[in-house]
Amino acid sequence: MRHAELAYFIKERVAIALQREIEAPPPWTMDLILRTYRFCNVYREWDPVSKEVRAWLNCGPHHLEGRAALARYLNEPQSLWALGTAPAWRPEVFLAILKSRRTAGYRIFNPAYIVSTNGVAMDKLEYVIDLVKRVDEQVHLDGNETLAEAAEMFQAVRGVGSFMAGQLIADLKHQPVLQHAPDWWTWCTPGPGSMRGLNRVLDEPVKVKWKPADFMHEIYGLGVQLNPLLGGLPGRLCAQNLQNCLCEFDKYMRVKLGEGKPKQLYAPSVPKFFN
């Protein structure tokens, strides 16, 4: 079992973020892996892009589901702010603005997420705009849904998979529409990286697959076991943040065990937001 190693990784990554917050000079850790490669924040809501997405969504309460989908499929703050600081729901106008920016050489999509047309032969921007229009037409949250129910509603839209549904829930759970969901702390959906990370913690073969219900059960148990080891954290970890930690822990252990390296190197700068 690697509970202690996971707890170390979580606490060290939080310590780095807090050192950056107070603008302490680097290096913020003596861990050579954490100093060399980029790892997401323990608290997803601390990540700079998540902060920007939340700020953009807060610009207007209407068409929240469609705008949340647009925000995460683009995942690029400059693209979002180019659409307006109080965005009305104008998909055709959005498409024209984004195409114009693409022609001018601006980055439209953040490469952190792989966005494809799912085999459909069409312009990726046009595909994404069509997809978010379907989300806007088909998903209508009224504030009474659980996170699990909301995720199912998103996945019922053609083209939205479980991974992206999970990302949308992670954003919308910080909006009034889902902030009081009864499963706010306990719901998550497995992804390849988090399944590998969980397997590493449990000393299971890395490629073992998990059913969603079994995965959530293990995440809950893991959280209980980690609590005594995570004293001093700024706040409790919800299941989605713990799941995210497992994905990053898998990356960390791949380096430590000589199995591979993350794609992105760490840039030691002091930004406006946690990074």
Q: Residue 122 contacts by C-beta under 8 Å, 6 or more apart in sequence?
A: none
Q: Determine, yes or no, domain membership for 265.
A: no
Q: Determine, yes or no, domain membership for 270.
A: no
Q: Which of 67, 69, 94, 68 is nearest to 83 (CA)?
A: 94
| Residue 257 burial (10 A CB sphere; 0-12, 13-18, 19+) | exposed
The answer on 178 and 119 residing in a single domain is no
Rounded Cα gap, residues 105 and 202, in angstroms: 46
Q: Determine, yes or no, domain membership for 273.
A: no
The answer to whether the CB of 69 falls within 8 A of the CB of 131 is yes
The answer on 116 and 182 residing in a single domain is no
The answer on 113 and 57 residing in a single domain is yes
Rounded Cα gap, residues 134 and 157, in angstroms: 7
DSSP conformation letters of 215-251: HHHHHHHHHHHHGGG-TT-SSPPPHHHHHHHHHHHHH
The answer on 105 and 189 residing in a single domain is no
Q: How many domains does the chain have?
A: 2
245 pLDDT more than 70: yes
pLDDT, tens digit, for every residue of 109-130? 998 888 889 888 899 999 999 9
Q: Residue 180 contacts by C-beta under 8 Å, 6 or more apart in sequence?
A: 143
**What is the three-class DSSP state of 37?**
strand
Single pTM value for the model: 0.90
Rg (CA), the chain: 19
**Percentage of the chain modeled with pLDDT above 90:** 84
Q: Determine, yes or no, domain membership for 109.
A: yes
The answer on 120 and 191 residing in a single domain is no
* Full domain range(s) for residue 114: 48-143
Rounded Cα gap, residues 132 and 135, in angstroms: 5
pLDDT, tens digit, for every residue of 66-124? 999 999 999 999 999 999 887 789 999 999 999 999 999 999 999 888 888 988 889 99
Q: Determine, yes or no, domain membership for 111.
A: yes
Q: Determine, yes or no, domain membership for 118.
A: yes
Mean pLDDT for all residues in the chain:
93
Long-range contacts of residues 152-156, Cβ cutoff 8 Å, at least 24 apart: 154/65, 154/69
DSSP conformation letters of 40-72: --SSGGGSHHHHHHHHHHTT-STTHHHHHHHHH
The answer on 134 and 192 residing in a single domain is no
**What is the three-class DSSP state of 97?**
helix
The answer on 200 and 127 residing in a single domain is no
The answer on 8 and 70 residing in a single domain is no
Rounded Cα gap, residues 242 and 6, in angstroms: 10
The answer on 130 and 52 residing in a single domain is yes
Looking at 143, 162, 189, the residue that finishes a domain is: 143
The answer on 79 and 1 residing in a single domain is no
pLDDT, tens digit, for every residue of 132-190? 999 999 999 999 999 999 999 999 999 999 999 999 999 999 999 999 999 999 999 99
Q: Determine, yes or no, domain membership for 274.
A: no
Supply the pLDDT for residue 268: 66
Q: Determine, yes or no, domain membership for 225.
A: yes
The answer on 56 and 10 residing in a single domain is no
Looking at 97, 127, 143, the residue that finishes a domain is: 143
pLDDT, tens digit, for every residue of 43-55? 999 999 999 999 9
The answer on 90 and 132 residing in a single domain is yes
